[in-house]
Structure 1
Amino acid sequence: MRDLFVTLVVFGSIPLILRKPFFGVLIGSWLGLMNPHILCWSFAAGKPFALIVALTLILSFLISKEPKRLPASALVGLLGFWWFWLFVTTLTAFYPDTAWDYWDRAWRIMLLTFLTIVLLTSRERIDALVWTCVISLGFYGVKGGIFTLLGGGASHVNGPAGTFIGGNNEIGLALVMTIPLIRYLQLTSTNRWVRYAMMAAMGLCVVAVLGTQSRGALLGLMVMILYLAVKTRNRAGLLLLLALSLPLAFMIMPESWYSRMDTIQAYDQDASALGRINAWWTAWYLALEHPFVGGGFNVFLRPTFIQYAPNPRDVHDAHSIYFQVLGQQGFVGLFTFLGIMFGSFVSLNRIRKFARSHEQLQWMGDLSSMVFVSIIGYATSGAFLGLAMFDYYYTLVAITIGLTTVAHRYAAQGVPEIAEVAPRPVIGVAVGAVGAAANRFAPPRRWLLGAIAGWFGKL
């Protein structure tokens, strides 16, 4: 059944993508973040759905008549230089055969990021992308939270194998980044049942993060919750939710969970922690000898440790976005990577201050605050995990730039008054068919189909 569902969604979306390239961004993000094709067991397993959608998106982008303007900003410039520098360091990589495999994935992430930036030109599109992120990763949070509650936390929560979020550390990081976006949807939704569902999803995601038994995810969760409590409005409900969900989650965790978390303090006696520190020193010594270009993708291999590591026998991955970039792309790459993160924080703070002075733009202030908290979660948990090329992070950067684009337009044209806007018939026959079919159903179904048609029409 899931094979049929994924296949129908992908191939059914092709006409929509050809009509509006932004639909390709949504479907591509769904495939990249959730990886639904990895969950298939039958004929859809292993099919190149992402490639099909990517090619369709590129074709649609080239033939589309809608404006295609890349925003002129320092953050966009840093992203462009980062893409260029990834290519340069791949040319000079220590291990070119495997480095080019990693580059093949990196340039696709950057291409989708830039296409997203160009097409993210309205609140409707920004909200649609946020919903895509929340549905894609919130699925694993809700599922993992229920799994942890029913199993008493005895087993680790993991993501789909063979993906960016396949391990317990990786899915923990992704959920830490997703909780603030769920909070944004809970704050801005006008439907109380959606608000209740988002509150439940946040609680289950918190439980799921604990269920991963990832120490890095736990640290990221604590820092993220602290910033979330500071940055969000209407804190009372959120604090009540955390006061109920966290003690419950801690109570059901087994003794093995507490023993594992205790090693955070006794890191000097933990083999895994010592291996990470050994990898960090390896990245440092490598960067001192190759300060500009580093060692390229996939440099943390045994020959590198033999040459640069304090303990050459303890071979580990970088286990840190910062030391991963330092070892792979050198100091130039590290400063660029940090510049993108810092530039995102600056942009989000400016957007929040701008929105604060306009009641109509409260949604923009909420989203900028929550994206800020999401990136804080990535920056914290990422200090213990090598996911520098995590596509989810670059999606958040694209949302930041999209918010800046919309804010600049509002500032130039004046903030519009809130008004009901009739859906535009941008998907032609499909919207008309849905609207016509809606009239034949009972009122609840008619409302749902009408809402879907209206939402599509605004994109």
Structure 2
Amino acid sequence: MLRSLYLIFVYCAFLGLGALAPFVLSLGYVWVDTFRPQQIAYILLNQFPVSAFIGALAIGGYLAADRRSPAPFGMHAALTLLFAGWITLTTVQFAVAPEAAWDKWDWAFKTVLFSAFIPLVFRSLVQIEAFIATYVFAAAIHFLPTGLKTMISGGGYGMGLGVVQGNSGFGEGSTLAAVALMLIPLVFYLRKHGTLIPRSPLTDAMFIGLAVVMVACAIGTYARTGLIGLIVLAGAIWLRSDRKILGLIVGAIAALAITHFTSDDWNERVSTINEFQTEDSALGRILVWQWTLGFVSENIFGGGFHSYQINEITFPGNAQFPEGVVTRGKAFHSIYFEVLGEHGWPGIALFLGLILTSFLSLQKAARIGRRTPGMEKVKDLAFALQVSLVVMLACGAFIGVAFQPMLWYIFALSSCTLHYARRASAAVASGDAEGAAARQGRPARTRPAVATRLRAQ
């Protein structure tokens, strides 16, 4: 009962603050979409369309009161809208499992479209920081229980350690591990540059502790995807580090500590990476990827959402089943093969175009941050988002989360960061007061405290 009342209070707080600063309604949508209060509450929120309601208010609030300095129509917006249109066309015209296809389109289309909407709303550095903080702390409800349980008593493969059960979204171990690791660079960005939560010894300890729990969460799922993500995360940070020798020493110590403190079950589970040709889970992925390539060679436009439902995979024979085992409807288990199998070669081309555009946008933003005095925050933000994107793309090679929000949020934030960097740099170059304020990520005029923190420039 108290949990439900608390969640209702938080939801209403987003609605109330949205009256002062309309972009807070979009933050509320991110919180609902990530925290999933409708799955956790016992009363009211579990019977009310909380996501649709606050999403409609977010769009309405922007159109009615927040259309200042909109982001220019660029490559991110063009590719995202083209992709939204293409996945709709494949659902209408090429779906091989129409009923299932429309069920997935219903939420996947909203994810893609909201990604195009985000750069219109989040225009200042404070707003971008608020988006990141909202997403990190909303996701924490899922990885904190898993990480803390792992640190206290150990984890386990396939165990329901979090607050959401099931085999999808944050209830699925590989996805939970990937998102926990993806968010670590953003946690350290908030620790170093956060203004909504000012830096202090207490907040330093909080953010560092949060990162430690995230790593524990990834390990505690026993998902091999988590190990891959951890290696990629460490490698990306090391490549960007100015102290590479120290980084190697710290990395070696961390690796030894993980190996020492993890259980034999975890080590046994991870060691099966080398046995991909005999281990059912890994071999099944390879076989379904082979099927996907054969399918799109005959169906270049894909088979619509959930097209994997028509596949038929034959595992090689063994002592128990000499003639092999036939499995039907095995999922893609990869963002790349998911998009390719469902939306064909045009779909994967648009998807890879969005990935490339995001990388280039962040590279341009980092360049602007380096050469513009007082914009070091932008450089560090671009770096953090790049590392997060690399981690998610590496983990995504083995999990089918191509249309879940985490990847699309990074695409959108990449666009937000570049648009902000260009505006702030131009304003600084012109020498006006708004430029100086924009560089610091705050409004130029004196406003009441709440408005100063929340309103856009």
> Which TM-score bucket, shorter chain as reference?
0.7 to 0.9
What is the aligned partner in structure 2 of residue 174 from structure 1? 179
SS in 2 for 1:269: coil
Note if contact 1:37-1:46 (Cα within 8 Å) is conserved in structure 2. Answer: yes
Q: Distance in 2 between matches of 1:8 and 1:361?
A: 37
- Asked whether 1:277 is paired with 2:277, we answer no
Deviations 1:55-99 (A, max 9, x none): 211221222253263423222211111111111111121111111
What is the aligned partner in structure 1 of residue 128 from structure 2? 126
Deviations 1:242-296 (A, max 9, x none): 66655444323221111111110110010111111111112111111111x2000
What is the aligned partner in structure 2 of residue 268 from structure 1? 277
SS in 1 for 2:397: helix
Q: Which amino acid aligns with 2:340?
A: L
Report which stretch shifted further, 7-16 or 412-421: 412-421
Q: Which amino acid aligns with 2:415?
A: I
Q: Distance in 1 between matches of 2:225 and 2:286?
A: 14
SS in 2 for 1:360: coil
- Asked whether 1:211 is paired with 2:212, we answer no
What is the aligned partner in structure 2 of residue 456 from structure 1? 454
Alignment match of 1:357 (pick from 368, 371, 376): 371
- Asked whether 1:191 is paired with 2:200, we answer yes
Note if contact 2:124-2:441 (Cα within 8 Å) is conserved in structure 1. Answer: no
Deviations 1:336-392 (A, max 9, x none): 111111111111112112211234111111110010011101110100001100211
Q: Which amino acid aligns with 2:291?
A: T
Note if contact 2:124-2:456 (Cα within 8 Å) is conserved in structure 1. Answer: no
The TM-score, its normalising length taken from structure 2, stands at 0.87
Note if contact 1:137-1:178 (Cα within 8 Å) is conserved in structure 2. Answer: no
Q: How many residues align?
A: 433
- The 3 A distance-change label for structure 1 pair 421 and 70 is closer
Residue 223 of structure 1 and its aligned partner are, at CA, apart by 0.7
What is the aligned partner in structure 2 of residue 73 from structure 1? 74
What is the aligned partner in structure 2 of residue 398 from structure 1? 412
Structure 1: gaps (5+ residues): 432-449
Note if contact 1:280-1:318 (Cα within 8 Å) is conserved in structure 2. Answer: yes
Alignment match of 1:99 (pick from 93, 98, 101): 101
5 Å matches for 1:253-332? Answer: 253-291=262-300, 293-301=301-309, 303-305=310-312, 313-332=327-346
What is the aligned partner in structure 2 of residue 111 from structure 1? 113
- Asked whether 1:10 is paired with 2:11, we answer yes
SS in 2 for 1:313: strand
- The 3 A distance-change label for structure 1 pair 242 and 304 is same
- The 3 A distance-change label for structure 1 pair 377 and 456 is same
Q: Distance in 1 between matches of 2:256 and 2:361?
A: 36
Residue 397 of structure 1 and its aligned partner are, at CA, apart by 1.0
Note if contact 1:213-1:257 (Cα within 8 Å) is conserved in structure 2. Answer: yes
Percent identity between the two aligned chains: 24
Note if contact 2:228-2:395 (Cα within 8 Å) is conserved in structure 1. Answer: yes
What is the aligned partner in structure 2 of residue 161 from structure 1? 165
- The 3 A distance-change label for structure 1 pair 158 and 240 is farther
Q: Distance in 1 between matches of 2:441 and 2:410?
A: 28
Q: Distance in 1 between matches of 2:260 and 2:154?
A: 9
Residue 221 of structure 1 and its aligned partner are, at CA, apart by 1.6
- The 3 A distance-change label for structure 1 pair 365 and 236 is farther
Q: Which amino acid aligns with 1:132?
A: T
Report which stretch shifted further, 416-425 or 327-336: 416-425
Q: Which amino acid aligns with 1:196?
A: A
Structure 2: gaps (5+ residues): 317-323, 430-434
Q: Distance in 2 between matches of 1:147 and 1:306?
A: 37
Note if contact 2:35-2:138 (Cα within 8 Å) is conserved in structure 1. Answer: yes
Note if contact 1:69-1:118 (Cα within 8 Å) is conserved in structure 2. Answer: yes
Alignment match of 1:137 (pick from 126, 139, 146): 139
Q: Which amino acid aligns with 1:171?
A: L
